[in-house]
Amino acid sequence: MSFNHIVLQNILRDKWTYVSYFLSSMFSIIIFFLFSVIAFHPSLKSLDPNSTLGISLMLASLLVYLFSFIYIAYSIMAFLRKKTKTLGIFMITGASMKQIRKLVYRENLLIGVLAIVAAIVLGLVITPLFLMGAKVVLKADTFGMYMPLQAIGLTIGLFLILFVVISKVVTKFINKEASIQLLKSDTVIEKSIKPHPLLFVLSISMTAILAYLLKIEHALVKSLDVFYYLLFFASLLSTIYLVIAQGLRLFLKIFEKSSAYLRKTNMLLASNLNAKMKSHASMLFLITILLSGVFLCTSILFSSYYNVKKDSEENYPYSFQYIADPKTDENMVKADLDNLEEKLSTVQASKYFIEFKSNEDKRLGYMALSDYNLLQHQEITLRKDEFIAVAGSRGVAPTTNNTNDPYIKSFKLVKINEQNLLSTGFQQSYFIVPDDIYQAIDYPVYKTYIYELDNWTAHTELANTITEAIPSLPGERYVTSKINLYDTEMFIKSVMFFIGSMLSLIFLSAAMSILYFYLQTTLLQEKEKYIGIRKLGLSKKELATVVSKELAILIFVPFSIAILLLLTTLVAMRTMVSTAFLQISMASSCCFFILFFISYLFIRKNYFKRLVS
């Protein structure tokens, strides 16, 4: 019998241990392969690598690859724990540490190669459907099927390197001390979680303080920059783990002293949870982190669509805005406006003409009250010594200090409007003054022509045509359109949604795969334990009750904690998020709950079937 034959037989005899590892690895490779198919698509040959889409695709591929590296490394480490008894038998029969490492290396490399091949074959099958979806989301004119040789080569090369490196590195964890542990694996009892009340309180306090400083934008946050966010993330992770571990320990202590402890099979359930408290806490922590990422990512991605229209209007308030520079030739302005109005003749559009004068050194605009009322669709009156300060940029409060102004230094400020009047950033602020005061101001005049379309979001092609024909020319004309901004922002959000959805699928799949693999690695031990308990009179129905409750804890406790983290985040950001964000978060949580409940039923049925077989 050759060494490779031993490797193959070892895998086939314990094939169910490798199912989760194989399928999860294959799924990760498929996602990376599909991203590569898009990245190397002939339609994107002219894509600028520094563009939003280019950078997004590159980062997404990097994240998928990085996550695959971490997840596969975790899976192999789990294999080593699962195969303690098998490796111990090999050692008893005389196998050296070099041969043991060679065995583990080859079997993991074989699984990796099979996962790569299966992923590429399945990826080629679903690529046409994937490209159809990408064409709609990315709004590409041509995104047909092609033979993705570059994507295939890159996927094979990168993941083959990944499996070789990980398989080689993790075998180094098998040493002489570990060998002794392997031989004693049947008698090793898992250590219980120790109480750490002081560490628990300190961790929660530190996370709360860091979160509060982040919310109030303290100077410390700006000074530490990236290090602060890394510190906050590490503190949050440690707090979540301590809450889960110490919470599980405290729950079991309280439960054992309650009257419910002696009812039916609760004593057996508590005993089982106590025996695997540490491994259960680690599993709950891993699944909670993955689910929290999925929930937050999904909520943000879905809700981002609801704010695009509002954000576009706040930056560029009008469908089209044409500002003529004071030095611009009037014939050019007339030709531009004739061209613009000709293109707008097929749609319903309201036209406004206003002007303002600008202190170009300070970028302060002065506008007559009559023009301001025209834009605001209201009738405001001002006394001869009053003025209104209006923002020139979105999110930036307008200048209100007029003490050094040569024209209105003695005027009284009666109102502040923090919504930018014209396109954001064109002027720092605008001072609205009575018409006769405006006439006396001696600054260059900027003539502004404004066009507002009905149902403006439906005219993206028209907006592209106009801005291509009449682009902004600094020093001559300044042309802006909220329609173009809306179209651009929607495209960016679509790309983010497309990439984020794929990443969410990976994390969700990983959460379920990790749980399934964890159950498989403890199956034989649990099976032997329950065979002994059933000899004492435990029925299948009672066994099913214990298994169902334990699985429910492993699946729904992380789900509940992740939802609680999501709600806490939403409450903390309640002044920064829209109602749509809250609605979408709740709707997506309900969808995930249904998905998790179905997963729970499926896992419970298959696990129990194998447990009693």
Q: How confident is the model at residue 83 (pLDDT cuts 50, 70, 90)?
A: low
- Tell me: pLDDT of 138 over 80: no
Q: Round the CA-based radius of gyration of the chain to a whole number and report it.
A: 33
What pLDDT is stored for residue 523 in this prediction?
Answer: 75
SS3 379: coil
The rounded Cα 448 to chain-centroid distance in angstroms is: 41
Mean pLDDT score of the chain: 80
Kindly list the domain boundaries of the chain, sorted by start residue.
1-189, 315-483
| Residue 245 near residue 193, CB atoms below 8 Å | yes
104/304: higher pLDDT: 104
pLDDT for residue 371 is more than 90:
yes
pLDDT-derived band at 110 (thresholds 50, 70, 90) equals confident
Are the beta carbons of 11 and 104 closer than 8 angstroms?
Answer: no
How would residue 581 be classed by pLDDT, with cut points 50, 70 and 90? Answer: low
Span 422-453, pLDDT tens digits: 988 899 999 999 999 999 999 999 999 999 99
Average pLDDT rounded to a whole number, residues 184-203: 73
* Cβ count within 10 A of residue 108: 26
314 contact partners, CB below 8 Å, separation of at least 6: 394, 419, 420, 424
For residue 175, pLDDT beyond 70: no
Show the tokens assigned to 94: 């005389």
At 421, which amino acid appears? L
Q: Around 578, how many Cα atoms within 13 Å sit in the side-chain half-sphere?
A: 15
Residue 379 tokens read as: 């009738």
Q: Which two tokens stand for residue 56?
A: 């997004």
Q: Please choose, from the candidates 424, 427, 422, 472, the residue with its C-alpha nearest in 3D space to the C-alpha of residue 450.
A: 422
Q: Tell me what the mean pLDDT of segment 12-18 comes to.
A: 62
* Per-residue model confidence (pLDDT) at position 47: 57
Residue whose tokens read 């009449």? 470
Please give the average per-residue pLDDT across 70-76, as a whole number: 69
User: For residue 24, what are its two tokens?
Assistant: 């999860």
Q: Is 73 exposed, middle or buried (0-12, 13-18, 19+ CB in 10 A)?
A: middle
* Cα separation, 603 vs 609, whole angstroms: 10
Which two tokens mark 76? Answer: 């192999």
List, as one string, the DSSP characters of 481-493.
-HHHHHHHHHHHH
pLDDT at 433: 93
What is the number of other CB atoms lying within 10 angstroms of the CB of residue 177?
Answer: 8
Residue 94 phi, psi dihedral angles, 5° rounding = 110, 5
Measured between alpha carbons, how far is 3 from 22 in angstroms, rounded to an integer?
Answer: 22
CB neighbours of residue 492 within 10 Å: 15
Distance CA 90, CA 577 (A): 59
User: Residue 318 — left, alpha, or beta (φ > 0 → left; ψ -120 to 50 → alpha)?
Assistant: beta
For the record, the structure tokens of 476 come out as 């001559």
Q: Which of 481, 447, 422 is nearest to 333 (CA)?
A: 447
DSSP per-residue string spanning 100-124: HHHHHHHHHHHHHHHHHHHHHHHHH
Kindly state the tokens that stand for 397.
């409060």
Assess contact for 467 and 375: CB atoms under 8 A. no
Band (pLDDT 50/70/90 cuts) for residue 220 is confident
- Phi/psi at 257 (nearest 5 deg)? -95, -5
Pairwise CA distance, residues 514 & 554, whole Å:
11
Nearest to residue 139, comparing CAs of 507, 510, 491? 491
Average pLDDT over residues 296-320: 79
The answer to whether 18 touches 493, Cβ cutoff 8 Å, is no
Mean pLDDT lowest among 81-95, 285-299, 431-445? 81-95
> Looking at residue 207, what is its pLDDT?
87
Quick one: three-class SS letters along 256-292?
HCCHHHHCCCHHHHHHHHHHCHHHHHHHHHHHHHHHH
Most trustworthy range by pLDDT among 262-271, 392-401, 538-547, 567-576: 392-401
Strand order in the sheet with 429-433: 412-417, 386-391, 429-433, 364-368, 349-359, 445-453, 320-324, 477-480
pLDDT in tens, 250-289: 888 888 888 888 888 888 888 888 888 888 888 888 888 8
Which runs of E-coded beta strand occur in 304-420? 320-324, 349-359, 364-368, 386-391, 412-417
Whether the model pTM is above 0.85: no
Q: How far is the C-alpha of 611 from the C-alpha of 524, rounded, in Å?
A: 8
Mean pLDDT, residues 563-569 taken together: 81
Over the stretch 508-530, which tens digit does the pLDDT of each residue have? 777 777 787 777 777 777 777 77
For residue 50, the number of C-alpha atoms closer than 13 Å in the C-beta half-sphere is 0
Instruction: Quickly count: other Cβ atoms within 10 Å of residue 565's Cβ.
Output: 18
